[in-house]
Amino acid sequence: MLLSIVSVLFVLSLAAAYEVSFDNRRWVIDGQETFLIGGSFHYPRATPDEWPAIFSEMKANGLNLIQTYVFWDLHEPTEGEYNFPDDPKDPANLVLFLQEAQKVGLYVHLRVGPYACAEWSNGGIPVWMETHHKETIFRTDDDFWLQKIEDFWDKTFEVVSNAGLMASSGGPIVMAQIENEYGNIEYGYGSGGAAYVKKVADFATNHPISKEVPIIMCQQGEGVGTTPPENVINACNGYYCDNWIERHSASNPSHPHMFTENWPGWFQKWGEAVPHRPASDVAFSVARWFAKGGSFMNYYMAFGGTSFGRKVGGPNIITSYDYDVAINEYGYRAEPKFSLLTMLHEAIYSVQDVMFTMEPISSTNGTNCEIQSYYKEDKCVLFLSNIGVDGEDCEFYGEFKIPSWSTSIVVGTSNTHNAHDGQCSGMEEIYGTKTSLEEAEQPNMVAYGAAEDIVVGELAIKSTVAVPTSKDAASDTVIVNESPLEQLTLTDDSTDYVWYTFNYDSPADSTSSVLEFELATSGGVGLMVFVDGELKNTERAVSDSTSQLEDSNYATHLSISIPLKEGSNDISILSTSMGLKNYGPYLERNRVGIVSDILVDGKVCDSGIVHTVGMDGEGRAGVVKRVGGERSDKSLIWYTTTFPSPADIADRVVGIDLSAMGKGAAYLNGNHIGRFWDMKAGDEGCNICDEMEYNGQYEAARCRTGCGELSQTIYKLPSIWFNKEGENELLLFVEEAGEGDMEVKIVDVKMEPSAQ
């Protein structure tokens, strides 16, 4: 049965309307039967001038679809004021992004959520949703939440429909998603969770858009815990999803099997080494998926890119979002991943017509050797798999030796029209997830060479920020309260920084007085403690995402040692947010900063806490109103330098080495490059995984590299941010200085053969 989603609307468009339909085995788009092999690419993680080349590479990689979230916080930065810009240089220009995808012939899966996860701050939910609507519980039956997400859904589809981007007007959008991985966190909401899922599924499937494109709701269970609503298509996310197909088939026999997020790598946190997922393992996961009946598979990500500015999620995720995927952060092909997967996609497209109409016939030959076969007329396609992890080959039909943890695709001729196993002859291997490594490009890696002709002058100190004092209480630019106030309530997330300052009268000199409070950790842990304007202690613990479910405070108790002198001491605590938690239930509980009384040597400080919001110089090109004296610790300094632009910058791929600069934030000509931090990965736990030898279930800890090294040293500089003529200004805010001399270098980013 072919379920058809039909709609031919009266749309003024030159492109012809087309239909999107599917059954349990295939997609029919504009009359063409096809499997869909896609990849995720988030528009704000590259600059618009880079989008066309990345789409072309996706196409060259053999993908026919792109998947993106629509980031609510970009499109409704202020409550009730939608922002869908048409400026061709604005990374929030969703319409242009989708038009560029269409130009190279890629379909689009638009994930409107609007909750995105995506290692994006607050999961893409605007922070005003929690700071201005404190009673609202996200992702529940809450009236205000439902109203806001429905409005956002309406608005987004109004924008893309008006731009002619829906299939019904010849555009590239062939499917939509509501919610996102809710099944993973549904347990946290009790029975209300299922009621909410049903409500949003009903909303989307009653929306006019559902007459045009299918509605997907990924990771909504299927035999494990939660039950997906029947009116939306459930989909699977993970490193492997082939074992999910059977459950999905049983509960939804007419639905296609969709693997919405196959993770070809993983993201990285500060203090972690670099994750790598072997290409042969990614290929194995994909081959197994199609072997067992999948018809849609999407890489999350195809291109990861960069979390520029303050948009990275948390806690403690680095600025690069390379994700170890086939098209790296700089737009280069990462090998052998790119070529091994391109060959796989070509092999799958070449046999898909044999696979469209039947369920696979599965058989085994011993414990680890499995065959899935498909027949059509005189053609047969066999997926020969070795799911063993012991290094032993599987032998099939006396002629195919399949290495462990790999799948080969074999084609042949069938002399019988009764499809059954064993009737395939003249068999030939067209692809193997390990055997094709021989034909793949040689492994390569990113290399950074000094950009000889882009010489950044010496860094000059523009200004040193004065540490606030308790006397600031008299100023009308601060907020004084008896006890500390939560950071997001003060900032609306418009800045990373809040100062908590108070005066403490110490009965005696002491070298190790104890400062105690609860610190909310949804934005990571970044604290600096000053006494009388001098840095005395820092807390840079990388706290992991413990659950906000059990602990609605989501805070950690800190006990910090500071020296005090007898009598009056001004104590200033600088709290820094590092990107808000983006995963888990109850994101409206995201909190940052000090969330308890502050105690010194066991006594509550209630003489009034002076809250100073933001960092002096921030957002005003580093103009500091109150310049502090030089501190020996070199903290809280704005550095600047200028340099002439190279003429050929548009043709270059460059980054900046900030490894000597400690921790802070960097700007090129006013564009926020991202947060930087000289945080090192631990010395242990790295392991180079050989593509051929790799066996067994992947997890991000398995094949990391870069132990003992900085989690990130080079930060991408999009060429469009340079002034092509005249001077360029680099501005760096250093919260805490690095070791050694402060210097930066611009580097050319190239690829070179890797050692493997």
Footprint of ligand NAG (CB under 6 A): 365-366, 395-398
CB nearer ligand NAG, residue 423 or residue 645 = 423
Known catalytic membership, residue 684: no
Virtual torsion, Cα 221, 222, 228, 230, nearest 10 deg: 160
CB nearer ligand NAG, residue 22 or residue 396 = 396
Cα distance between residue 505 and residue 654, in whole Å: 52
- The pair phi, psi for residue 534, each rounded to 5°, is -115, 135
Smallest separation (angstroms) from ligand NAG to the CB of 371:
7
CB nearer ligand NAG, residue 419 or residue 594 = 419
* β-sheet bridge partners, residue 530: 535, 572
The three-state secondary structure class of 355 is helix
Helix 143-162 and helix 191-206: axis angle, to 10°?
30
Smallest separation (angstroms) from ligand NAG to the CB of 397:
5
Other CB atoms closer than 10 Å to residue 595's CB: what's the count?
Answer: 19
Smallest separation (angstroms) from ligand NAG to the CB of 433:
18
The three-state secondary structure class of 179 is coil
Identify the sign of the CA torsion 216, 221, 226, 231.
Answer: positive
Looking at residue 410, its amino acid is: V
Smallest separation (angstroms) from ligand NAG to the CB of 426:
15
Cα distance between residue 337 and residue 342, in whole Å: 8
**What is the DSSP secondary-structure string of 674-729?**
EEE--PBPPSS---PPPTTT--S---TTTT-B-TTSBS--EEEE-GGGS-SSSEEE
* β-sheet bridge partners, residue 564: 510
Smallest separation (angstroms) from ligand NAG to the CB of 285:
23
Residue position matching structure tokens 């490894």:
659
Q: Does the bond joining 336 to the residue before it have cis omega, within 30 degrees of 0?
A: yes
Confirm if 173 and 30 have CB atoms less than 8 A apart. Answer: no
CB nearer ligand NAG, residue 246 or residue 421 = 421
Confirm if 598 and 542 have CB atoms less than 8 A apart. Answer: no
Smallest separation (angstroms) from ligand NAG to the CB of 243:
22
CB nearer ligand NAG, residue 33 or residue 395 = 395
CB nearer ligand NAG, residue 423 or residue 545 = 423
The three-state secondary structure class of 96 is helix
Helix 94-103 and helix 51-60: axis angle, to 10°?
40
Of 216, 212, 215, residue with least CA distance to 17: 212
Other CB atoms closer than 10 Å to residue 615's CB: what's the count?
Answer: 23
Residue position matching structure tokens 């820094």:
576
Known catalytic membership, residue 181: yes
Residue 548: both structure tokens together:
């906000």
Other CB atoms closer than 10 Å to residue 267's CB: what's the count?
Answer: 22
Smallest separation (angstroms) from ligand NAG to the CB of 404:
13
Residue 710: both structure tokens together:
């900085």
Smallest separation (angstroms) from ligand NAG to the CB of 395:
4
CB nearer ligand NAG, residue 432 or residue 526 = 432
Cα distance between residue 529 and residue 537, in whole Å: 5
Confirm if 328 and 271 have CB atoms less than 8 A apart. Answer: no
Smallest separation (angstroms) from ligand NAG to the CB of 437:
23
Q: Measure Cα distances from 304 to 48, 92, 432 in Å.
A: 15, 16, 26
CB nearer ligand NAG, residue 158 or residue 399 = 399
CB nearer ligand NAG, residue 389 or residue 604 = 389
CB nearer ligand NAG, residue 206 or residue 365 = 365
> Which of 100, 261, 272, 618 is the catalytic position?
261
CB nearer ligand NAG, residue 342 or residue 404 = 404
Number of helices and strands in the chain (H, E): 11, 39
**What is the DSSP secondary-structure string of 180-248?**
-SHHHHGGGGTHHHHHHHHHHHHHHHHSGGGGTS-EEEES--SSSS----TTSEEEEEES--GGGHHHH
Smallest separation (angstroms) from ligand NAG to the CB of 60:
35
Of 243, 340, 223, 231, residue with least CA distance to 294: 243
Of 14, 21, 127, 749, residue with least CA distance to 489: 127
**What is the DSSP secondary-structure string of 310-351?**
T-B-BTTB-SB--TT-SB-TTSPBPTTHHHHHHHHHHHHHHH
In 35-87 the beta strands, taken as DSSP E runs, fall at 36-41, 65-69
Smallest separation (angstroms) from ligand NAG to the CB of 420:
13
CB nearer ligand NAG, residue 393 or residue 729 = 393
Smallest separation (angstroms) from ligand NAG to the CB of 287:
17
Of 558, 469, 480, residue with least CA distance to 515: 558
> Which of 76, 181, 212, 736 is the catalytic position?
181
Catalytic machinery residues: 181, 261
